Amino acid sequence: MTAVDNHNNHDHNHNHPHAEADRGLKARLRLSIALTGVILVAELAGGYFTNSLALMSDAAHVFMDVFALSLSLAAMHIAELPPTETRTYGLHRVEVFVSWINSFILILVTAFIFYSAYERFSNPQPVESAGMLVIAAVGLVVNLVVAMWLMSYAEGDLNVKSAYVHVVGDAAASVGVIVGAVVIAYTGWYFVDPLISDLIGAIILVGSFNIMKDASHILMEGVPKDIDFGRVIEDIKASKGVSSVHSLHIWSICHNVYALSAHLDIEPLERWRMGEIFAEVNERLAGTHHIFYTTLQAECSGCDTNDTLRKIAHRERNHLH
């Protein structure tokens, strides 16, 4: 069996600029968490004192932002922890598991928001629109600032991108609260407040379900959604000397770390350059598909070369066949 870890080589060659970028991103994430945390407290307090369910609902959405930003920062620290003999992949999947739990909790929170909105539709309550407007406007400004800080990093980092999308979504929710405050101020239509809270709750619900779906897919060892399975096979076979690919498995260790294992059938006349072929395949997988952790095996005995998706059999211990 031969394995090449291009990710380690890549880090070794570009360690200094990446370290600088990581430090800059960590600093921005910490400040973003602090500012967003202040808005969370302000919206909770403001929602209570202005009697605005929309503000309270937006606070739940802001909590998603705080959690997403914190998760991105935690993921960077977790990625730096070394693997152990009992956890050979390290603790990367902690972020996936926590994402699932957080989303489940937010679904419960959303159910409470919908219930509260239903009660207010049947019994509208007065809302202090001026305070509602001011707090939502401050929240919008903070969200836009945080989004601008993260925009450049989100382009190349899926982990940061997820947090960025959360922040942009909350900025949109803040706009909804502002519009609702203006409408209430000029018309006195207090039913607008629970209406906006329902809309924000729907946004939270969709986001939570999507996160749970993605986290479940990773925990079930699914092929990453942005990976074209057929294209991976074509790119592996594009290397001269590779006649077939079988027992191919592609999965995510966490949101932004992909792994692959496969058996390659190498033509007899090309087996003398097996290491070169493996290095070429690994380079192509890393550059085209963002797959940096690969385990490639050649000349596998007892394998069906047409069995691309090999079924995993449950066998008893000491059972060799």
Measure the CA dihedral 211/215/217/223, to 10°: 100
Residues 107 and 96 both lie in one domain: yes
Q: Are residues 66 and 101 in the same domain?
A: yes
CATH number for 261? 3.30.70.1350
Domain that includes residue 209, residue range: 16-219
Give CA torsion, residues 274, 276, 282, 287, to 10 deg. Answer: -150
Domain count, the chain: 2
153, 207: one domain? yes
If asked whether residues 180 and 302 sit together in one domain, one would say no
Give the tens place of pLDDT for each residue, 226-237. Answer: 899 999 999 999
Final residue of a domain: which of 185, 202, 219?
Answer: 219
Rg (C-alpha) for the chain, rounded Å, is: 25
Residue pLDDT, tens place only, 153-175: 776 565 677 677 778 877 888 88
Is residue 53 located within the same domain as residue 133?
yes
Residue 226 sits in the same domain as residue 204: no
Instruction: Say if 166 falls within a structural domain.
Output: yes
pLDDT for 285 equals 95
Residues 80 and 125 in one domain: yes
Is there a single domain that holds both residue 206 and residue 186? yes
Residues 164 and 160: their CA atoms lie apart, in Å, by 6
CA distances from 277 to 163, 245, 288 (A): 38, 13, 16
| CA distance to 135, 176, 196, per residue, from 181 (Å) | 10, 9, 10
Is 7 contained in some domain? Answer: no
- Both 290 and 197 in one domain: the answer is no
What's the CA gap between 77 and 92, in Å, rounded?
10
**3-state SS assignment for residue 245:** strand
CATH code, domain carrying 20: 1.20.1510.10
Q: Examine the domain organization and report whether 112 and 234 are in the same domain.
A: no
Last residue of a domain, one of 184, 219, 254: 219
For the record, the structure tokens of 124 come out as 């509208």
* Whether 145 contacts 35, CB under 8 Å: yes
Residue ranges, the chain, pLDDT below 70: 1-22, 155-159, 162, 299-321
DSSP run (H or E) holding 118: helix 93-122
- Residue 159: inside a domain, yes or no? yes
Report yes or no on 275 lying in a domain: yes
C-alpha 66/C-alpha 32 separation (Å) is 8
Query: Looking at residue 205, what DSSP letter applies?
Result: H
* Residues whose CB is less than 8 angstroms from the CB of residue 288 and which lie 6 or more positions away in sequence, other chains included: 231, 235
Say if 4 falls within a structural domain.
Answer: no
Choose one of 219, 235, 253: the last residue of a domain: 219
Does residue 203 lie within any of the structural domains? yes
pTM of the model: 0.73
Q: What is the pLDDT of residue 71?
A: 80
3 part of a folded domain: no
Task: Map tokens 């309550």 to a residue.
Answer: 125
Residue 224 to residue 289: CA distance in whole angstroms: 10
Rounded distance, CA 198 to CA 193, Å? 9
82 located within any domain: yes
Residue that is written with structure tokens 């502002």 in the block: 178
- Residues 233 and 120 both lie in one domain: no
Regarding whether 75 and 35 lie in a shared domain, the answer is yes
